[in-house]
Structure 1
Amino acid sequence: GRIARSRPHELSGGLRQRAALALALCGDPGLLVADEPTTALDALVQAEVLDLLAALRAEQGLALLLVTHDLAVARRVGGTVAVMRAGRIVETGPAGQVLARPAHPFTAALVAAQPGAGR
């Protein structure tokens, strides 16, 4: 319909992300690499995109490699997290554990720099 005939600039950020996901999934991949899929989306649309990714993982057994600078997104998606600094992995482990009790100073600094970290 109308959305399929639309140009990218005519769609909202959330619709553009959903369209990009649909295109990426057309070939039935076993792995989806999502590079900052929620950047510049409002909180509601961000949650919808993350819920869609979670559903795809659960329903289709899709492996997800999520690249993000947003630790709240990493925490919400869960799974294993790898923290990188200068192109090298400095810490890995379950997302909840790494983000709650960082073992590497760089990870600790990232966690401390998040809004509301001092509460």
Structure 2
Amino acid sequence: MRVLAIDHVQIAMPEGSEDRARGFYGEILGMKEIPKPQALAGRGGCWFASGAAQVHLGVEEGFRPARKAHPALLVEGLDEVLAKCQAAGLPTRPDAEIDGRRRVHVFDPFGNRLELMESSHG
């Protein structure tokens, strides 16, 4: 057996927060909402995709945000995303460039940490 790729990343959110998730992952990050399989639709949450990257937002009872564990998303237009986060009052935290990639940590409306990375070579 060998791992071929990461299919998706699951991120938790509080119950009834789908519209807030759509505002962040859809409008701010520019990801497209994709349908959940019928067998899972009744559990709440929502799924997003951009290219091969998928982020699944799932409802978690007793939700607590992920402050250390995080997905890292490779993006284009990092400054635009940061401006949208700041306009929405969402915290952002620049980090050191690694391997020619600018890195910024952002926090979704639920307090989950995400790392956004953009090539600094254009």
TM-score bracket relative to the smaller structure: under 0.3
TM-score, with length taken from structure 2: 0.24
Bigger share in strand: 2
Q: Which has the higher contact order (CA 8 A, sep 6+)?
A: 2
> Bigger radius of gyration, 1 or 2?
1
Relative to the length of structure 1, the TM-score reads 0.25
